[in-house]
Structure 1
Amino acid sequence: MKGSGTLLTVIATLIFLVVLAPIAVLSILASSTDHFMAFPPSGYSLRSFPELPANDPLLTSVWLSLKIAPLVTVLSLLIGTSAALVLEKLNFLGRDALLTLFLAPLLLPALVLGLALLNLLTSVRLSGTIPALVLGHLIVTVPFVIRQMNSAFSALPKEVEVAAATLGAKPSRVIFRITLPLVMPSLIASAALSFLLCFDKAAISLFLVRAQVTALPVEMMNSGHGRTDPFIAALSPLVIVGTLSIVLLIERLVGLARAVGHRGT
């Protein structure tokens, strides 16, 4: 048993090193004095950070992602929570098949989804617009919300809702006063995940943008391919810090274990 425990510790340590190594490299490159990305850098300086606001394409893409992220988050919660609630509360023929259909985008490659969306939106002349970006992100975020909220609704004690209904509460009142408050940690986690996914999924966004409408993931990818200066490396730690701040906020508000549906014994 002791030997297997040591082996698991070594494996876990290696996994953490593999995951954290790119973050460490980016952090070092962000503080480089070089005018190109080279590792290890010849010197260290924070000059790239004050110059970030002067990078208009990068700044424009940041603001665009910040504008669409709240809209995608709200729509994802409304659509995903409603769908999960219907799938949990109503017993009808084909319910499992419908749930599988809702979760299908999680199983498909992002490139396939992006290409399919491009063909669809081009036919209705929406390609390269902000609504196209919102729809593209919803295709990814809504299945995550449905999966998270479906698990949360399934874990609820049914006796509480039955007791409220027995005392005369209408179904809508039971949902808004009993059910939703009980799954609030999962709602918060779903909202945070939907928000963060708006700064990811470059493969989908790549098919839905044009020169005037470029989301942050696409701009970061373009900068990484077409330029050699360390600006993109300087932005990456800021994105990581923002992500960690949201995770820490969830832990502070409701706890990560409760947010993802794990309950203490």
Structure 2
Amino acid sequence: MKVSLFQRATVACLYLFLLAPILLTMAMSFSNDPVIAFPPEEWGANAYVAIFGNEQFIATFGVSFVIAVSVVLLCAVTGLPAGYAIAFSRFPGRDVVLAVLTAPLLLPTIVVGLGILLLFVKLKLIATYLGLVVGHSIIALPYMVRIVVTAYKNLPVALSEAAATLGASPTQVALRVQLPLIRPAVLASSAIVFLVSFDEVVISLFLVGPRLTTLPVEVFRYVDLRADPQVAALSVILVTLSVLIVLILERTVGLARALR
């Protein structure tokens, strides 16, 4: 099918519209002005130098990274068995379980955050690593469950039946046949869970405290007090890290194949 010049121009305009905020942010990150402005009056990389000297940004980056990795592990431990059970088991209320696990995708994040806050106050999990990990897992788990369930349902039944015919137990079939086959989906969902947790700000606002905060919350508070090019430079760094994760996933397993 031949693509017309009008269609190409339309797609190009659409890409430009979607990428415009990122391109403007990149331009403003190379400003030496005291406040964010476009176009900058003085170009330079002072903002990037200042970021690596900002102890609060560096400390909260470490906190967010540790929490995101912990959320990936927790979602993998809970999401893989849940996805397997939903995909292969025929128990009463299976659709209800799937709906409950994926409900945070449909509810407003602020509503979920308020509910988590009311519960965690009683459990004394506010401003703790455990509270942040569990809170982030609540909104990140649906992504892993959805992708894993789809991957399990698309597995060739003949392979599992052949392994069972050769004497493999159900556990061996699940761990040595089915799990390796859905490895791309596990990697893709883990990357998505990591990014969702690392970038989460609404849930974190309900759960952080004066002694424990995450990078998105720190940026939110920073922008509330000042608006200098450091914020733009940090945004460019975070976008670059996200793109690198996606590129690594694409190069290793193929992003489209993993999501299928």
TM-score, L = length of structure 1 = 0.94
Q: Distance in 2 between matches of 1:211 and 1:79?
A: 30
Deviations 1:135-161 (A, max 9, x none): 111011111000000000010001100
Alignment map for 1:1-265 (pairs within 5 Å)? 8-261=7-260
Q: Distance in 2 between matches of 1:22 and 1:128?
A: 33
Q: Could you tell me how far 1:69 is from its partner in structure 2?
A: 1.4
Question: CA contact under 8 A between 1:37 and 1:228: conserved in structure 2?
Answer: yes
Q: Distance in 2 between matches of 1:94 and 1:10?
A: 49
Q: Distance in 2 between matches of 1:237 and 1:181?
A: 35
Q: Which amino acid aligns with 2:72?
A: T
For the residue of structure 1 that corresponds to 2:107, the secondary structure is coil
Deviations 1:81-124 (A, max 9, x none): 11000111110121112111111010011111111111110111
Question: CA contact under 8 A between 2:137 and 2:197: conserved in structure 1?
Answer: no
Q: Which amino acid aligns with 2:61?
A: V
Moved more, 161-170 or 11-20: 11-20
Q: Which amino acid aligns with 2:25?
A: L
Q: Distance in 2 between matches of 1:38 and 1:108?
A: 36
Question: CA contact under 8 A between 2:140 and 2:193: conserved in structure 1?
Answer: yes
Q: Distance in 2 between matches of 1:57 and 1:119?
A: 28
Question: CA contact under 8 A between 2:201 and 2:216: conserved in structure 1?
Answer: yes
For the residue of structure 2 that corresponds to 1:141, the secondary structure is helix
Q: Could you tell me how far 1:201 is from its partner in structure 2?
A: 2.1
Aligned length: 260
Q: Which amino acid aligns with 2:176?
A: R
Deviations 1:55-101 (A, max 9, x none): 12211110101111111111111111110001111101211121111
Q: Extract unaligned runs of 5+ from structure 1.
A: none
For the residue of structure 1 that corresponds to 2:50, the secondary structure is helix
For the residue of structure 1 that corresponds to 2:90, the secondary structure is coil
Q: Distance in 1 between matches of 2:211 and 2:90?
A: 47
Question: CA contact under 8 A between 1:110 and 1:201: conserved in structure 2?
Answer: no
Identity, in percent, stands at 38
Q: Which amino acid aligns with 2:162?
A: A
Q: Distance in 2 between matches of 1:72 and 1:239?
A: 18
For the residue of structure 1 that corresponds to 2:52, the secondary structure is helix
Q: Extract unaligned runs of 5+ from structure 2.
A: none
TM-score, L = length of structure 2 = 0.95
Q: Could you tell me how far 1:196 is from its partner in structure 2?
A: 1.1
Q: Distance in 2 between matches of 1:206 and 1:10?
A: 42
Q: Could you tell me how far 1:7 is from its partner in structure 2?
A: 5.6
Q: CA separation of 1:48/1:259 partners in 2, compared to 1, >3 Å: closer, same or farther?
A: same
Q: Distance in 1 between matches of 2:96 and 2:124?
A: 32
Q: CA separation of 1:11/1:111 partners in 2, compared to 1, >3 Å: closer, same or farther?
A: farther
After superposition, the CA RMSD in angstroms is 1.6
Q: Could you tell me how far 1:238 is from its partner in structure 2?
A: 0.8
For the residue of structure 2 that corresponds to 1:213, the secondary structure is coil
Q: CA separation of 1:90/1:5 partners in 2, compared to 1, >3 Å: closer, same or farther?
A: farther
Q: Distance in 2 between matches of 1:150 and 1:258?
A: 15
Q: Distance in 2 between matches of 1:251 and 1:24?
A: 23
Q: Distance in 2 between matches of 1:197 and 1:213?
A: 19
